[in-house]
């Protein structure tokens, strides 16, 4: 049975896609739950409009992400942390710390889940951190961890 997805369905397709599924799957699950509608002539035209809108939205998101790459790569992000004699940190710099520093210094709100960091930063110096902004767009940010200056009173 041919149906048009009215919502994204995992492992099946995206909103507006025309898919062929088993009759029972369509009748008992997709259509009653509102995930799909039967594919008729009018519905196929509506599906085409949904696909076009999705493509335009995806292109807009990609261009916005590309614009953010230039801003993020323009200048390094400085993070102050307490460190020992040999440049080892007391603790570590995490994804949340990097996201907060980017927001404070570059005024870009980045979700910490988009930051690709295999393990927390545990040493002073420059570190290259990848940020996944879009499916096809990644930004490289230079994070410079500097020693925290203790104030003596």
Superfamily, domain 75-147: Ribosomal protein L9, C-terminal domain (3.10.430.100)
Predicted confidence at residue 152, as pLDDT, reads 46
* Reported confidence tier of residue 151, pLDDT bands at 50, 70, 90: low
Quick check: helix, strand or coil at residue 1?
coil
Domain 2-60: which CATH number of 3.40.5.10, 3.40.50.2300, 3.40.1210.10, 1.10.1040.10? 3.40.5.10
Tokens of 103: 């927001």
Q: What value does the mean pLDDT take over residues 126-145? A: 89
The pLDDT of residue 153: 47
Q: What is the mean pLDDT of residues 85-114?
A: 89
* Residue whose tokens read 């404070």: 104
Overall average pLDDT of the 66-80 stretch: 86
CA distance 142 to 128: 5
For the whole model, what pTM was predicted?
0.65
Between 12 and 149, the higher pLDDT residue: 12
Half-sphere exposure of 16 (CA within 13 A, CB side): 11
């Amino acid at each position: 049975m041919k149906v048009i997805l009215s919502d994204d369905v995992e492992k099946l397709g995206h909103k507006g896609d025309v898919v062929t599924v088993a009759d029972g799957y369509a009748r008992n699950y997709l259509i009653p739950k509102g995930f799909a509608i039967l594919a008729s002539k009018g519905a196929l035209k509506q599906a085409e409009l949904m696909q076009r809108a999705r493509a335009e939205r995806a292109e807009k998101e990609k261009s916005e992400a590309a614009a953010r790459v230039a801003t993020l790569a323009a200048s390094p992000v400085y993070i102050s942390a307490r460190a020992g004699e040999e440049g080892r940190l007391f603790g570590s710099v995490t994804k949340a710390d990097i996201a907060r520093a980017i927001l404070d210094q570059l005024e870009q709100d980045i979700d910490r889940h988009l930051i690709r960091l295999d393990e927390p930063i545990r040493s002073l110096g420059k570190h290259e951190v990848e940020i996944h902004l879009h499916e096809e767009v990644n930004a490289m940010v230079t994070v410079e961890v500097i020693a925290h200056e203790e104030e003596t009173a």
